[in-house]
Amino acid sequence: MMVAGIGCRKGVDQGQVLAAVEAALATHGLSAAALSALATAHFKHAEDAIAATGKTLKLPLLLVDDAALRAVSLRALTRSVPSLQATGTPSISETAALAAAGQHATLLGPRIAVGPVTCAIAVAGDVA
């Protein structure tokens, strides 16, 4: 299972979300076909651009609750003070990816920021 976690400022558009996902995939030498799902924090459920990106990529969007985000916070690679202050987690994209990919998931690297959107990729098991 490979999950792209998404974090963003309010009101981003689909092009911005897609650009962040594509940049994260390119950083790790992957294509969108490698992804199993997109994930974000449950409180981002109203961000239509994230859901639209999932539909464009034909991927389910997993909404991760606050408890699950906090449970994996110590495994995040990025420590964003603004994110901690606003959400209680050091990186929405990293913690959403980790939580959605499963208990033993690992991040392929720190989140990638493209403008107001971040994307991190987590994988359960070994990367082929």
pLDDT at 81 over 90: no
pTM for this structure?
0.93
Count of other CB atoms within 10 angstroms of residue 109: 14
Give start and end residues of each alpha helix (H) in 6-107.
14-27, 48-57, 66-71, 81-87, 92-101
Residue pLDDT, tens place only, 7-42:
999 999 999 999 999 999 999 999 999 999 999 999
CATH class of 27-120: alpha beta
Is residue 126 very low, low, confident or very high in pLDDT (cuts 50, 70, 90)? low
Closest Cα partner for 21 from 5, 10, 34, 9?
Answer: 5
Count of other CB atoms within 10 angstroms of residue 45: 12
Task: Report domain extents, the chain.
Answer: 27-120
- Please provide residue 2's backbone torsions phi and psi, each rounded to the nearest 5 degrees: -125, 125
Residue pLDDT, tens place only, 86-123:
888 999 999 999 999 998 999 999 999 999 999 999 99
